[in-house]
Structure 1
């Protein structure tokens, strides 16, 4: 559904209930920004288009149009094509989801966002309002679930991820994953009823986290600045240049690079744009050959260099074990989100599947 603002007052009233809602403060900021742009004739001639697939925030594309609005007589496709012809500016509006302060510090995330922009790694921050921000709209295509299985695109992701991990970011370089798990477990237990806590076996997770931390103690295969949420929707590709951009840094921190790759592999089981976006299909988890190709590309400093076979195998083994930490992280995230977020997503079922994978894979992975 596209909301058109340059209509008569009567038309606006008639369609108000069906329009995407963004805060008044955000609209005022958008109008002020557009008023300063010489190529925008009418700062209120904007369209608001919801973007699907976000599970922490609400995300909208906002664009300004010049000329008379298209009529509906030609149909939705024709109207959309006409609107693109008249488009002069486009930005992205991110409205923060409820309860995000339970997951990360928003000010830290904004500082990371601004630092990434200075590194030329992501969109520019254009403005902030109380519960969100306005970002530069990247003229690139967001990857699809199927793209992650494309060998050429997967190789681009591997190379880009190594570049990301090597960024010189400010702040402490210590591993965050274990403190994050402990904090999220405490939050989940505070939010859950006793029945829910028992259902998800939360009482046993403190020991599980401690055992994983001990398992990986001193064996990180390198620490880097990790994205920690590298699903397909957070990767964009410019199809003219094949350049990738990694976006959305809410969960970014220093961590073992093997954990970040493990999390990316786990995300290949998801399709957040399907009819049941919470359902995971682990038959789509990358097979041995796919994993090896990814890791070889990740470890290669140039096209011609072949990484050491032992280094590849060691990293692959570490990645597989770190999938356990990924399952616990996103299982706890699902439980907490179910209690605090109103986005239309079955967080509880998503959490159940992640915990199920943890218990199914734990013994084999930790004894291998």
Structure 2
């Protein structure tokens, strides 16, 4: 009975509209008893195709669902889908700095990076940056484009790609948007689930970790969610602890040189992370304002 459905909007989603849909089961409907069954309904945001290919995102979600990662896919409709409702808590900005939770994230991220996903296993980020730059130029007023120095960014993107191409890098399946709102934790079991794969692709793992570190400066539930506080960026000891946990989660203890190399690459890729989300912000304002 569709009239018995309760639909509750959920906050925190930036690209889509997300709702909890629940209804009573177990024969206690008339008395208001019984248990609630819940699903999550995701309605795709309009115009987000400028950022990613929706069909690629759906294929990724279906593959993750089949392999037991993330919520199960329960159904699709033209403008969205229905997913399993995960009975877990979405992390907060403060959680990312908790040493115990950070260690769980590091181990889970290593597992995520080693997923054998379909499709070409080549680095996507440089093509994405160039495509986003082209879009940003098309939606940005000329005076703002000059202020943002968009005409110079292609040189910077080329310089970064050239700088990093010679590195001995590890390529893996990256989430590319590992902010706290895309991580859920079961309080009892401490099992962690990474959700929302709109931007997921193969990339250098150092980029994914660097982006996660940058996200520690953000609080999207504050009065000024667009202001990043880099005093919250993890210090050297926190970064080293995260990298050591990440590398050792495979069962082998990494040597000091391996830890140092990955940490250095992570710091370099913060530059690319800033470019990615800077262009994302310009396109978002220009396309959806």
Do structure 1's residue 91 and structure 2's residue 39 form an aligned pair?
A: yes
Aligned counterpart for 2:216 among listed residues 257, 268, 277: 268
1-side partners of 2:29 and 2:231: how far apart?
50
Q: Provide, for residues 297-330 of structure 1, a one-character-per-residue CA deviation record: whole Å limited to 9, x for no partner.
A: 0000357x53110110110010001000000000
Do structure 1's residue 337 and structure 2's residue 287 form an aligned pair?
A: no
Do structure 1's residue 170 and structure 2's residue 81 form an aligned pair?
A: no
Shift of 1:86: 5.6
2-side partners of 1:96 and 1:230: how far apart?
19
Match of 1:325 in 2: 272
Aligned counterpart for 2:48 among listed residues 90, 100, 104: 100
Change (3 A) 1:336 1:87: farther
Change (3 A) 1:104 1:302: closer
Shift of 1:133: 1.2
Do structure 1's residue 250 and structure 2's residue 198 form an aligned pair?
A: yes
Is the 1:140–1:236 Cα contact (8 Å) retained in structure 2? yes
Do structure 1's residue 234 and structure 2's residue 182 form an aligned pair?
A: yes
1-side partners of 2:171 and 2:80: how far apart?
31
Change (3 A) 1:220 1:127: farther
Aligned counterpart for 2:262 among listed residues 315, 318, 321: 315
Change (3 A) 1:273 1:68: farther
Higher relative contact order (CA 8 A, sep 6+): 2
Aligned counterpart for 1:188 among listed residues 116, 136, 141: 136
Match of 1:45 in 2: 4
2-side partners of 1:49 and 1:216: how far apart?
45
2-side partners of 1:254 and 1:87: how far apart?
41
2-side partners of 1:259 and 1:96: how far apart?
26
2-side partners of 1:152 and 1:179: how far apart?
36
Match of 1:115 in 2: 63
User: 5+ residue gaps in structure 1?
Assistant: 1-41, 71-84, 343-368
2-side partners of 1:54 and 1:116: how far apart?
20
2-side partners of 1:265 and 1:58: how far apart?
26
Is the 1:295–1:312 Cα contact (8 Å) retained in structure 2? yes
TM-score w.r.t. structure 1 length? 0.75
Do structure 1's residue 63 and structure 2's residue 22 form an aligned pair?
A: yes
Shift of 1:216: 0.1
**Aligned to 1:113, what secondary structure does the other structure show?**
helix
Segments of 4+ moved more than 6 angstroms: none
**Aligned to 1:262, what secondary structure does the other structure show?**
helix
**Aligned to 1:88, what secondary structure does the other structure show?**
strand
CA RMSD of aligned residues (A): 1.6
Spell out the pairing of 1:142-161 with structure 2 (5 A cutoff).
142-161=90-109
Shift of 1:87: 4.8
Is the 2:110–2:249 Cα contact (8 Å) retained in structure 1? no
TM-score w.r.t. structure 2 length? 0.95
Is the 1:63–1:87 Cα contact (8 Å) retained in structure 2? no
